[in-house]
């Protein structure tokens, strides 16, 4: 299934988070951002993860809180992790055994125009419980990256075999850099924070979508398969990074970012 979709390399004009090797290139996720009326946007981040993931969620929140314009405030989870339903005005982070879906992690945002209204990150223990991925570096990389997609960051590089850029927004087969004696990709780097300044420091909005008072938005449970994600709008050269878009009507849409497991090591799942 994953390989079938991997052959469809379709670039969406609205999503410009394409594969880039230049660490100084723009890597916003399209124009998507949380609307805010203040200089700093504070995003409630629901903790729906268990003890295997608690330290990695805490670390990702701490890492990204070095930003001058985005702050994550951990709050009690608002959903059953297996369903991982979104909550309007906040991020929900979940882990569960989602099955042999082929993906390690998913980030989904719901947007009204370019404004994010709710977001989730899901981490698939079906793969993270295997010897290949049950390692601190893999857990740290995927958590750091999927949470960052929820506030509008794309990738600095989608070529897995390129030298590490020292950012969790850079795909790699060597997350901690020890296999090939290179930089660790387990945390953000300076360019990630520069990009957040570009996204959130350039203007303010007339509304604030990171507000708990908003009515509940469109939600769907057990949303684990490409058939539920709409059309494929972006695929990296090897198909391990893909973005799907589903129109919900009246200017609303759901965008799904997928981090597929390594097809060479997990080919029997695809």
pLDDT in tens, 3-51: 333 322 222 223 333 333 333 346 665 689 999 999 899 999 999 999 9
Within a domain: 19: yes
pLDDT at 162: 86
Query: Can you say whether the dihedral through the CA atoms of 132, 136, 142, 146 is positive or negative?
Result: positive
Q: How many domains is the chain built from?
A: 1
pLDDT at 207: 87
CATH of the domain at 103: 3.40.390.10
Within a domain: 261: no
Within a domain: 82: yes
Within a domain: 248: yes
Within a domain: 6: yes
Instruction: Give the separation between CA 266 and CA 237, rounded to whole angstroms.
Output: 18
Within a domain: 153: yes
pTM to 2 decimal places:
0.85
Query: Can you say whether the dihedral through the CA atoms of 268, 163, 255, 80 is positive or negative?
Result: positive
Q: Which residues of the chain have pLDDT under 70?
A: 1-30, 212-222, 263-270
Phi-psi region of 155 (alpha: psi -120 to 50; beta: other; left: phi over 0): beta
Instruction: Give the separation between CA 12 and CA 155, rounded to whole angstroms.
Output: 15
Checking DSSP bridges between strand 91-96 and strand 241-249, what pairing results, if any?
Answer: unpaired
Residue 101 makes CB contacts below 8 A (sequence gap 6+) with 124, 126, 224, 225, 269
pLDDT at 40: 95
CA distances from 266 to 90, 100, 151, 236 (A): 33, 10, 30, 18
Six-digit token string for 88: 């309007």
Within a domain: 167: yes
pLDDT at 14: 30
Residue 230 makes CB contacts below 8 A (sequence gap 6+) with 244, 245, 246, 247, 253, 254, 256
pLDDT at 7: 28
| Containing structural domain, residue 100 | 2-253
Instruction: Give the separation between CA 175 and CA 167, rounded to whole angstroms.
Output: 9
Six-digit token string for 81: 């992790």
Residue 151 exposed, middle or buried by CB count within 10 Å (0-12, 13-18, 19+): buried
pLDDT at 18: 32
Within a domain: 267: no
């Amino acid at each position: 299934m994953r390989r079938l979709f991997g052959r469809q390399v379709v670039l969406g004009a609205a999503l410009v988070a394409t594969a880039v090797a230049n660490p100084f290139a723009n890597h916003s996720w399209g124009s998507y951002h949380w609307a805010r009326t203040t200089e700093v946007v504070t995003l409630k981040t629901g903790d729906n993860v268990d003890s295997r993931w608690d330290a990695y969620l805490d670390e990702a929140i701490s890492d990204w809180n070095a930003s001058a314009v985005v702050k994550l405030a951990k709050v009690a989870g608002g959903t059953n992790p297996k369903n991982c339903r979104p909550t309007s005005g906040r991020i929900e982070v979940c882990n569960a055994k989602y099955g042999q879906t082929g993906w390690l992690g998913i980030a989904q945002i719901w947007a009204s125009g370019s404004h994010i209204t709710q977001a989730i990150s899901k981490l698939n223990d079906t793969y993270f419980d295997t010897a290949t991925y049950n390692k601190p570096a893999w857990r740290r990389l995927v958590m750091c990256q999927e949470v960052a997609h929820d506030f509008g960051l794309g990738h600095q590089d989608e070529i897995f075999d390129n030298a590490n850029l020292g950012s969790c927004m850079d795909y790699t087969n060597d997350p901690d850099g020890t296999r090939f004696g290179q930089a660790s990709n387990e945390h953000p780097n300076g360019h990630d924070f520069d990009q957040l300044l570009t996204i959130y420091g350039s203007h303010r909005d007339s509304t604030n979508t990171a507000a708990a008072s908003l009515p509940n938005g469109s939600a769907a449970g057990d949303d684990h398969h490409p058939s539920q994600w709409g059309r494929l709008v972006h695929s990296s050269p090897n198909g391990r990074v893909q973005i799907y878009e589903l129109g919900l009507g009246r200017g609303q849409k759901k965008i799904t970012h997928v981090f597929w497991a390594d097809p060479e090591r997990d080919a029997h799942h695809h």
